[in-house]
Amino acid sequence: MKRLEGKTVLITGGTGSFGKTVTNTLLETGCKEIRIFSRDELKQELMRIEKASSKLRFYIGDVRDRESVDEAMNGVDLVFHAAALKQVPSCEFFPMQAVMTNISGSNNVIQSAIKHGVDKVVCLSTDKAVYPINSMGMTKALMEKVSAAASRLDNSGDTTVCRVRYGNVMCSRGSVIPLFMNQIKQGQPLTLTVPDMTRFMLPLRDAVSLVLFAFENGCPGDLFVRKAPACTMMDLAKAVRNIMNADNEIKVIGIRHGEKIYESLLTVEELQKAEDMVDYYRVGVDDRDLNYTMYFSEGKEKEVVNQDYNSHNTRQMGIPEVEKLLLSLPYVQKELEVWEQRQ
């Protein structure tokens, strides 16, 4: 991470799970300043106390409010744009709120970065933006378009805007793994939507590496995804039960508003032109030579792709592998420690 030496980094939505984890990583580099931009002063105060670092600067603001974004952007070299409305059900009920934050807010961040001559902006998107069926995914898909358009139009060439998409980040706030663990602690049944539903499972550390990879390798308009395994929700529920030594009932409750049976990380068309970078796929906005020759398998003709890259056709983990992955997560380790003391 030599390229971070002496840099000022702005993280929008910086008090979330991603923001906190990437901050830890950045604090171990030689970067000069990390700016945390978010709406919630309490979360900022807690983060200030927890991290206790003179490199951190906190900015209260909202991506919807361009002035507040401009204030935080002055002197910034790199932006990780993570601020978003991302709960599927609430975006279904309040789609215009998702429009204002995820689309207009993202445009504010990108335009402000271009105006301030920022080197690179990495915008965080989600698998729900691929063939979107819910407001959260639709607004994230448009955020991707807004950033792709900005990267085409910025002729000054000062600012590189690129994008990453990831699947379900394991144990992120409000997500299913913490929910299952709490249900077990309270002696309740595990509420399972659809047993065969699959999701890409991405530990937070891999989500952070993806974003750093995009920072290091991204050219204007690039989209990166990290290859990830998936599992069924039934296997996930059973794995959580097993690691907690529990036998709570698993109750099928049916699909929720705006949900899909499986998620896609790349469309058929994107996969067709994607460059395979071992752990990652890269999809460029056009066919320019972007100097990725070291990752190509020379001379191999591209096969015709007729499927998207989705959580049904990626590598499937069985219950033991899901258990192992769960046990490697700091969140799960902490929760299990408390749980085992109570037993």
Give the catalytic positions in this structure.
Answer: 128
Closest approach of ligand GDU to the CB of residue 169, in Å: 6
Alpha-carbon span 30 to 98, nearest angstrom: 35
| Three-state secondary-structure class, residue 105 | helix
Q: Please, what is the angle between helix 233-243 and helix 176-185, to 10°?
A: 40
Residue closer to ligand GDU by CB (options 154, 270) is 270
Q: CA nearest 66: which of 95, 106, 97?
A: 106
Residue with smaller CB distance to ligand GDU, 89 or 219: 89
User: Closest separation between CB of residue 197 and ligand GDU, Å?
Assistant: 4
Report d(CA 76, CA 4) in Å as an integer. 12
In the bound complex, what is the minimum distance in angstroms from residue 129's beta carbon to ligand GDU? 9
Give the nearest distance from C-beta 233 to ligand GDU in angstroms: 4
Q: How far is CA 141 from CA 47, 192, 313, 334, in A?
A: 30, 28, 22, 35
Q: How far is the CB of 184 from ligand GDU (least distance, A)?
A: 13
By beta-carbon proximity to ligand GDU, the closer residue of 118 and 197 is 197
Q: What span, in angstroms and rounded, lies between the C-alpha atoms of 237 and 67? A: 45
Strands (DSSP E) along the chain, which ranges? 8-12, 33-38, 56-60, 78-81, 120-126, 160-166, 168-169, 190-192, 198-202, 223-226, 230-232, 250-252, 264-266, 275-277, 280-283, 309-310
Between 259 and 275, CB nearer to ligand GDU: 259
Q: Which is nearer to ligand GDU, 117 or 330 (CB)?
A: 330
Q: Which one, of 62, 74, 84, lies nearest residue 164 by Cα?
A: 84
State the nearest-atom distance from the C-beta of 189 to ligand GDU, in Å: 10
Q: Which residues contact 259 (CB under 8 A, 6 or more apart)?
A: 88, 134, 193, 197
Give the footprint of ligand GDU on this chain (CB under 6 A).
86-88, 126-128, 167-169, 175-176, 179, 191-193, 197, 199, 233, 256, 259, 263
Minimum distance from residue 262 beta carbon to ligand GDU (Å): 9
Amino acid, res. 24: N
In this structure, are residues 35 and 57 in contact, taking their beta carbons and an 8 Å threshold? Answer: yes
Cβ atoms 38, 109 nearer than 8 A: no
Beta-strand pair 33-38/56-60 = parallel
Residue with tokens 């009932």: 249
Query: With respect to ligand GDU, which residue has the nearer C-beta, 199 or 282?
Result: 199
